[in-house]
Amino acid sequence: MGQPVADGEPGEVTITTLGVEGMPLLRYKTGDICKAYTEPCSCGRHTLRLSPVIGRKKQMIKYKGTTLFAPALFEIIHRIDAIKEYVVEVYNNEIGTDEVLLHITATNDQEETQNKIKAYLQARLRVTPHIRYIEPDAMQKLQFPDGVRKPVKFIDRRK
């Protein structure tokens, strides 16, 4: 924890106030996960560069040996035309590892559509999360719990 990572490997971002005079040295852990690059840029820069944010540390999911981030999972789900609405739920199983459950409202209930969704997720994620198909009214209750105005897309039930 707090150690540098290898070049091009994902790691947590820490910001330091080195350039400010008269201030104590402060370090802020943002919780963002980025990749650091030290090789010279094609534009001629030789300083450390950071990739775009891959995800947030609190949203990191270790599922069956694969590291997933909620925004990346959302992006994959958005590419599937057969899915109308979804909620991603993460929880711990009996032995304490992460499990992923996708609550999905599909465009139709045909088995062919369900197999297509499963195959696409397997190809893109290298793992297949548990999938639960629910009706639109149940999805509405899941996305908008009591008093919430913005739809909930990620539920973290891990301890």
Decide if 102 contacts 86 (C-beta within 8 A). yes
Q: Sorting pLDDT into bands at 50, 70 and 90, what band is 16? A: low
* 103-125 average pLDDT score: 87
* Residue 141's CATH number: 3.30.300.30
31 and 73 inside one domain = no
Q: Which has more confidence, 50 or 133?
A: 133
Q: Sorting pLDDT into bands at 50, 70 and 90, what band is 52? A: confident
90 and 148 inside one domain = yes
Q: Sorting pLDDT into bands at 50, 70 and 90, what band is 18? A: low
User: pTM score, two decimals?
Assistant: 0.64
> Please, which residues have CB within 8 angstroms of residue 4's CB and are 6 or more apart in sequence?
11, 36
Q: Sorting pLDDT into bands at 50, 70 and 90, what band is 132? A: very high
Its domain, for residue 41, covers: 10-53
Q: Is there a domain that residue 3 lies in? A: no
* 43-66 average pLDDT score: 79
Domains in the chain, number? 2
41 and 67 inside one domain = no
Least-confidence region, from 3-12, 22-31, 47-56, 98-107 = 22-31
Q: Which has more confidence, 55 or 105?
A: 105
Q: What is the mean pLDDT of the chain?
A: 82
> Please, which residues have CB within 8 angstroms of residue 59's CB and are 6 or more apart in sequence?
69, 70, 71, 154, 156
Q: Is there a domain that residue 128 lies in? A: yes
Rounded-to-integer distance, Cα 68 and Cα 56, Å: 11
